[in-house]
Amino acid sequence: MNTGKNKGFFSKIPNAVWMVISVVTAFVLWTVIASTEAGGVVFAEPWEVGQQFVKALSNGSLWQHTSISLFRVLAGFGIGFVISIPVAFLMGWYAPFRNLVSPWIQFVRNIPPLAYIPLIIVGAGVGEQAKVIVIFIASFLVLVVTIYQGVLSVDVTLIKAAKVLGASDRDLFFKVVIPASTPYILTGARLGLSASLTTLVAAELTGASRGLGMMIQKASGYYDMSTVLMGILVIGVIGILFEKIVRFLERRLTGWQETISQ
């Protein structure tokens, strides 16, 4: 199926050009769908969304929504990140702790955030705290599960090698286990950031006056589909930016890894 000629042609296209092709195709599809009768109900035309974007940008409202949402995502993710590392390591190293905690994690992991939001509102009110908590829970769970895999994967002979060179438990943690699980920590960060964004809209259901999720919800009440689409696009772009940042860190921090394609 994959004839040599085809492969040669497509493999000559650089990644940046692929990116352009991909984006342009998406816009074309969008325009086509929006121009049909059924599609037009759901999808605003690209130029309408563009107009909305310029307006929201120039009156500052878009930045207000985006900045507060970014704050919530980064705060929730940040706390999740800092707490998940020691928890994952304790799980990996102390069986009693693992046996105690891991059923809880498995249990909460399958519950959609929307379901426990009422509890959080009752407990933490409708302020910033509640939103950060929802995002924290979502990213923490993903992080802890991924980093725990990393801890399990640390090569025992490396631990032994460090011990015979005089490493204390503290040295083992900071100089062996952390660097050895960096690839997993970064994968965890990628999944955790994405979980944070996915939960954002739910988190802002706890009642917010600002935020991208809230902006989308409010606009949908008025059938203002161009604002809804604009919100979706902004969240998507933030997601891609996060991804790029993690990629960059991976290149910087885990270049030592042996990979298959070299």
Does 161 help bind another protein (rule: CB under 8 A)? yes
Decide: 113 and 137 in contact? Cβ < 8 Å: yes
Identify the residue whose tokens are 């086509």.
32
**Shortest Cβ 253–another protein spacing (Å):** 8
Half-sphere exposure of 34 (CA within 13 A, CB side): 16
Q: Rule CB under 8 A: which of 182-221 touch another protein?
A: 182
Does 167 help bind another protein (rule: CB under 8 A)? yes
CA distances for 50 relative to 44, 141, 228, 233, angstroms: 10, 37, 12, 11
Helices 212-221 & 225-253 angle (0-180, nearest 10): 160
Annotate each residue in 105-144 with x if it binds another protein (CB under 8 A) or - if it does not, as one string. ----------------------------------------
Find the part of the chain contacting another protein (CB under 8 A) among 9-17, 38-46, 102-110, 156-164: 156-164
Which is closer to another protein, CB of 105 or CB of 178? Answer: 178
Which is closer to another protein, CB of 53 or CB of 93? Answer: 93
Does 175 help bind another protein (rule: CB under 8 A)? yes
Find the part of the chain contacting another protein (CB under 8 A) among 20-28, 111-119, 177-185, 216-224: 177-185
Which is closer to another protein, CB of 96 or CB of 166? Answer: 166
How many chain residues touch another protein (CB under 8 A)? Answer: 22
CA–chain centroid gap for 64, Å, is 21
**Shortest Cβ 69–another protein spacing (Å):** 35
**Phi, psi of 199, deg, nearest 5:** -85, -10
Does 164 help bind another protein (rule: CB under 8 A)? yes
Which is closer to another protein, CB of 160 or CB of 247? Answer: 160
